[in-house]
Amino acid sequence: MKLGWDSEHESFRSELVSFLETHAPPEALGGRDLIGTDTGDIPQWARRWQAELFDNGWMVPAYPPELGGRDADPLECLIYAEELGRRGIPRSVHFGGYAIVGPSLLEFGSEEQKALAPAAIRGDTIWCVGMSEPDAGSDLANLSTTAVLDGDSFVVNGQKVWTSYALHAEQCFCYVRTDPDAGRHKGISVLTVAMDSPGVTVRPLRHITGSAEFAEVFFDDVVVPAGNLVGELHGGWRITMGSLAHERGGLWVDGVAAAERAISDLVKLSISMGRGSDPVLRRQLTELFVEVQSLRALGYKGFASFAQGSSAPEHSYMKLASSELRQRLYETGMDIQGSFGAITDDAAAVDAGRWQHSWQVALAATIGGGTSEIQRNVVASRVLGLPRG
C-alpha cells in the first residue's frame, strides 16, 4: 500500500492535463449538473467536445484509437476519471451512446453492428436506451414490449418510458420480448430501432427540473429488419449486464469528485453566510466530510481489487453511497441558506441557485440505474451472502 503511482503513469496524467487545459470548452468546466437542457436537446459545444475527445484518443482511453482511445491500462483509466472528475468536466452529456450502446455493440453485435460503435462513442449518432416500461422498472424482466419475427423482419408493439434523449435520438437500443412463453429472463432480445421508423411515437416527459430530457416511446406495428437483432435471439438478458467493463474500477470517481467539491464549497458557503461558528452546522459538515473522505478511500480500495482482476465488492456499495451522499450534501447547501434555500431564481438565489438545482438533479441518482433499494438487495444477497426472502 502506498499513496502515489509510478512515474510512467504520472506522465500519462500530465499529457491528459495539458490536453484538458488547452482544449476543454468553458461550458464544460466547473461540474455543473448538465443533464437536461430545457428541450432535452444536446448543445453544440457538447457535440464538438465529445468529437474532439474522440479524435484525440481521450474519449474512452482503454479503446484503441479507431474507437476514440489510446489502449490505456486500468490505472490510466482511473487517472483519466480523476482528472476529469477533479475539474468537473463531462465527456458527454448523453452517456447511453458511449457507455452502454457502443460497448454492447462491440461485445455482442454482428460485424455490421460493430461498425456502428465509433459513431455512437463519438456522439455522431445519438442513441437512447429503451429498457424501462410502465410495468417493468426495477423488475426489468417483466417487460412486455413484443417483437414478432415475420419473414426477414420483426414487428414491434409496446411502450417504453423514462427514455432519456428519446426526443432527439436517431436510434433506440431496445429491449423486447421475443418469446412470451419462455421464462421471464429467457424470452428477451435486443433490437436496434431507427427512431424515424413508421409507428414510433415519442411523447416528451418533463423532469422535476423542467427539462424534457426523457420521454415515453410508443411502438405501433413498427417493422424492424431482422438484421437489427443484437446478439442471440432470446439472449438479450445477458446484454443488460454489459457496459464499459474496463472502466468499472473508476465509475465512482465522478460522483466522489463532485462530493469533494461540494463539501469544500459548503464550508465556504456557511462562512460567507455568517454561520461558520454554528456548532450544529459545523458538526453536520464534518460528518459529511468524514463520509466523503472515507468513500473516496473505499473507491480506491475497490480499484485495487479490480486492477488485480478480483471481483470488487466495494463497487456494489459505491453507487448506493455516493448517490445518497450527494443528495444530503446539496440539501445541506439549501439548509445553510435558511429561508432563502427554496429560491431558485438565478439572479436572486445564493450561488445562482446551484444547490437547489443540483439537489433536484441528484434526486434522480437514487432512482435511475437501479434504485437504492435494489442496490441494498443486491449487496445483501451478493456481497453479504444473506439468504433470499
Partner 1 sequence: MDFSLTPEQEMLRDTASALFSREFPSSLVRDACYDPVTDGASVAAAAFDRHLRPWISMGDESVVDQCLFMEEAGAAITRAPFWSASALALPLLRAVNHPDADRLADGSLTATVALAGSTGEWIANRDLTKMLVTDFGLVDIVVFVDAGGNTREPEGGSDSADTDRSHTDSGDGSAGLGGEALVWVSPAADLEARVVENLDLARPLAEVTRPAMGDHQPRMITEADLHSVLERASVVLAAEMVGTARWLKEATIEYVSTREQFGRPVGSFQGLQWKLVDASLELEKAGAAVYYAAMCLDADDPDRHRATHVAKSAAGTTARRWAKDAMQAHGGIGYTWEHDLHLYLRRANAADRLLGDSAWHMEQLALDLFESGQQHV
Ligand X SMILES: Cc1cc2nc3c(=O)[nH]c(=O)nc-3n(C[C@H](O)[C@H](O)[C@H](O)COP(=O)(O)OP(=O)(O)OC[C@H]3O[C@@H](n4cnc5c(N)ncnc54)[C@H](O)[C@@H]3O)c2cc1C
Burial (CB < 10 A; 0-12, 13-18, 19+), residue 323, is: buried
Cell 436510434 sits on residue = 171
Residues in the chain: 389
Residue 379 as a binder of partner 1 (CB under 8 A): the answer is yes
Tell me which residue of 118, 67, 58, 120 sits closest to 90, measured CA to CA.
Answer: 58
Taking the least distance from each CB to partner 1, the nearer of 201 and 272 is: 272
**Binding flags for ligand X, 125-164, as an x/- string (CB under 6 A):** ---xxxxx----xx-----------------------xxx
Residue 382 as a binder of partner 1 (CB under 8 A): the answer is no
Residue 301 as a binder of partner 1 (CB under 8 A): the answer is yes
Q: Around Cβ 188, how many Cβ atoms within 10 Å?
A: 25
Strand 171-177 and strand 127-130: pairing? parallel
Taking the least distance from each CB to ligand X, the nearer of 2 and 388 is: 388
42: Cα within 13 Å, side-chain hemisphere? 26
66 is catalytic: no
Which residues sit opposite 160 in a β-bridge? 217
Could you tell me the maximum CA-CA distance found in the chain, to the nearest angstrom?
74
314 binds, among partner 1, ligand X, none (CB under 5 to 8 A by kind): partner 1
Please list every residue from 367 through 386 that binds ligand X, using CB under 6 A: 367-368, 371, 373-374, 377
Residue 383 as a binder of partner 1 (CB under 8 A): the answer is yes
Catalytic residue selected from 76, 133, 213, 247: 247
Which residues sit opposite 202 in a β-bridge? 217
Residue 330 as a binder of ligand X (CB under 6 A): the answer is no
Taking the least distance from each CB to ligand X, the nearer of 11 and 138 is: 138
CA distance 362 to 93: 15
Catalytic residues: 247
Q: Which residues bind partner 1 (CB under 8 A)?
A: 1-5, 264, 267-268, 270-272, 276-277, 282-283, 285-287, 289-291, 293-295, 297-298, 300-301, 303-304, 307-308, 313-314, 317, 320-321, 373, 376-377, 379-380, 383-389
